[in-house]
Amino acid sequence: DGGITQSPKYLFRKEGQNVTLSCEQNLNHDAMYWYRQDPGQGLRLIYYSQIVNDFQKGDIAEGYSVSREKKESFPLTVTSAQKNPTAFYLCASRGGTSPLRSNEQFFGPGTRLTVL
Amino acid sequence: KQEVTQIPAALSVPEGENLVLNCSFTDSAIYNLQWFRQDPGKGLTSLLLIQSSQREQTSGRLNASLDKSSGRSTLYIAASQPGDSATYLCAVTPISSGSARQLTFGSGTQLTVLP
């Protein structure tokens, strides 16, 4: 079964703690993305990576960090510097081989992070 | 900067009704437009992808149209069912995003189909 997995589904963080959200894909896609979703709002881009060992900041990167050591994996760390981290976090990948599908993004099931 | 708007924010219809969801975007320089479905607490499911050179795409009871010159897209759902209840999100890939191909999202329309 090809797809994107995210873990954990729910995550609770105390103030001042760093937490890491996992994202794994077996679609052989080159590009991966992290989005944040707040209630009643669209998704906003945090970070993206087009290739292993390379990543770029999105619109709201402050307080977050990522790594891309393997093609399949793109973990997101929410640091204590992120002042309002409670949100729903979605990971996506892109990279279909067909020219018509190469721009289509596929999403994981999400991780809901709550700060206690 | 590209902006995507979806109106209305919420819509309730009786079962069996045909309905149209609207999406507008401010910059017509896009690679494509995607419609997604999101169930409560879940990730996004891609419904339809329309390339910038296309006018419409169809999948089952869903039909999406694209009018790039006017900056509009519609998602038509035929013979709606309670199982269609979800939030529908529209997103474009601006040409300005370059090779990153990052999406710009609307805030969604929450659809409720009443039995």
> What distance in Å separates the CA atoms of residue A15 and residue A38, rounded to the nearest whole number?
19
CB B45 within 8 A of CB B36: yes
Q: How confident is the model at residue B5 (pLDDT cuts 50, 70, 90)?
A: very high
Cis amide bond preceding B14, omega within 30? no
Query: Beta-carbon neighbour count of residue A65 at 10 Å?
Result: 17
Give the pLDDT score at B105.
95
A80 touches chain B (CB under 8 A): no
Q: For residues B44 and A52, what is the distance between their CA atoms, to the nearest angstrom? A: 24
CA distances from B66 to A66, B71, B108 (A): 35, 8, 17
Shortest distance between the Cα of A92 and any Cα of chain B, in A, equals: 9
CA-nearest residue of chain A to B4?
Answer: A42
Q: Name residue, tokens 């997995």.
A: A5
Task: Report pLDDT digits (tens) over A65-78.
Answer: 999 999 999 999 99
| Per-residue burial over A25-50, b = 16 or more CB atoms within 10 Å of its CB, e = otherwise | beeebebbbbbbbeeeebbbbbbbbb
Give the ranges where chain B is alpha helix by DSSP (H). none
The pLDDT value recorded for residue A1 is: 55
Q: How far is A95 from chain B (nearest CA, A)?
A: 10
Decide: helix, strand or coil at residue B43.
coil
pLDDT of residue B9: 93
pLDDT at B21: 97
pLDDT-based confidence at residue B96 (cuts at 50, 70, 90):
confident
B52, pLDDT greater than 60: yes
Using the predicted structure, report yes or no on whether residue A96 has a pLDDT greater than 90.
no
How big is chain A by its Cα radius of gyration, in Å? 14
Q: What is the pLDDT of residue B100?
A: 81
pLDDT of residue B59: 95
Share of chain A above pLDDT 70, in %: 93
Please name the residues between 32 and 51 in chain A that touch chain B, using a CB distance below 8 Å.
Answer: 33, 40-45, 48, 50
Please give the helix or strand (H or E) that residue B103 lies within, else none: none
Task: Say yes or no to pLDDT of A101 above 90.
Answer: no
Other Cβ atoms within 10 Å of B30 Cβ, number: 24
Q: Is the pLDDT of residue B88 over 70?
A: yes
Q: Check if A11 contacts B (Cβ < 8 Å).
A: no
Q: For residues B15 and B1, which has the higher predicted lDDT (pLDDT)? A: B15
Residue type, B12: S
Q: What is the pLDDT of residue A15?
A: 85
DSSP symbol at A97: S
Per-residue pLDDT at A45? 95
B1 compared with B47, residue with greater pLDDT: B47
Within 10 Å of residue A14's Cβ, how many Cβ atoms?
A: 9
Asked if A8 has any chain B CB less than 8 Å from its own CB, the reply is no
Question: Residue B70 class from Cβ within 10 Å (0-12 exposed, 13-18 middle, 19+ buried)?
Answer: exposed
Query: CB-CB: which of A6, A40, A42 is closest to B105?
Result: A42
Mean pLDDT of B45-66: 95
Number of Cβ within a 10 Å radius of residue A21: 23
**pLDDT 10s digits, A3-59:** 999 999 999 988 889 999 999 999 999 999 999 999 877 899 999 999 999 999 999
